[in-house]
Amino acid sequence: MKIRDEDEIGQNETTSGRAQNEKGQGKYPLMLIGFAIWTLVASLITAILYAWDKRAAQTDRRRIPERTLLGWSLVGGWPGGWIAGRWLRHKTYKRSYRIQFALAATLNLLGIAAVVYASFN
């Protein structure tokens, strides 16, 4: 019976860890953290745009185009748009906008799922 010394154990763990990283293990948490950070930033921007548009609507100033609000929702800002819309009671009654918003959020989630799925394969 052979007893392995500490150097051999450490070397095997390093080798197995390297093999896991070469296969793509370990990049997923970073990818998910990146998606989370991007979603927070995009949501903050989208929420600010909603607030700006609400204020412009109340003061008869130039509005933020719906295309801009939906674009930010599509690229990841939909959580901020959803929260701001509810909180500010803005863009909650226009059915055509709500449908487009739901489509943008769904497409964003499907895009993220596709990227994550492709990364696992």
**pLDDT range class, residue 9, cuts 50, 70, 90:** low
Q: Residue 13: pLDDT above 70?
A: no
| Higher pLDDT pick, 63 / 14 | 63
pTM, to two decimals: 0.75
Q: Is the pLDDT of residue 18 over 60?
A: no
**CA-to-CA distance for 2 and 45, rounded, in angstroms?**
61
67: in domain: yes
Is residue 75 within 8 A of residue 108, CB to CB? The reply is yes
Q: Is residue 10 part of a domain?
A: no
Residue count (the chain): 121
Question: Tokens in use for 44?
Answer: 């903050």
Contact (CB, 8 A) for 42 and 80: yes
Q: Which residue has the higher pLDDT, 77 or 26?
A: 77
User: Within a domain: residue 77?
Assistant: yes
Q: Is residue 13 part of a domain?
A: no
| 11 inside domain | no
Domain extent at residue 115: 27-120
Confidence band for 5, pLDDT divided at 50, 70 and 90: low
**Does residue 4 lie within any of the structural domains?**
no
Structural domains in the chain (count): 1
pLDDT of residue 30: 86
Tell me whether residue 97 is in a domain.
yes
Percent of residues in the chain assigned helix, strand, coil, to nearest 5? 80, 0, 20
pLDDT tens-digit readout, 59-71:
999 999 999 999 9
Q: Looking at the domain assignment, is residue 8 inside a domain?
A: no
* Model pLDDT for residues 26-58, shown as the tens digit of each residue: 667 888 899 999 999 999 999 999 999 999 999
The Cα 19–Cα 38 span in angstroms is 29
Span 86-102, pLDDT tens digits: 999 998 889 999 999 99
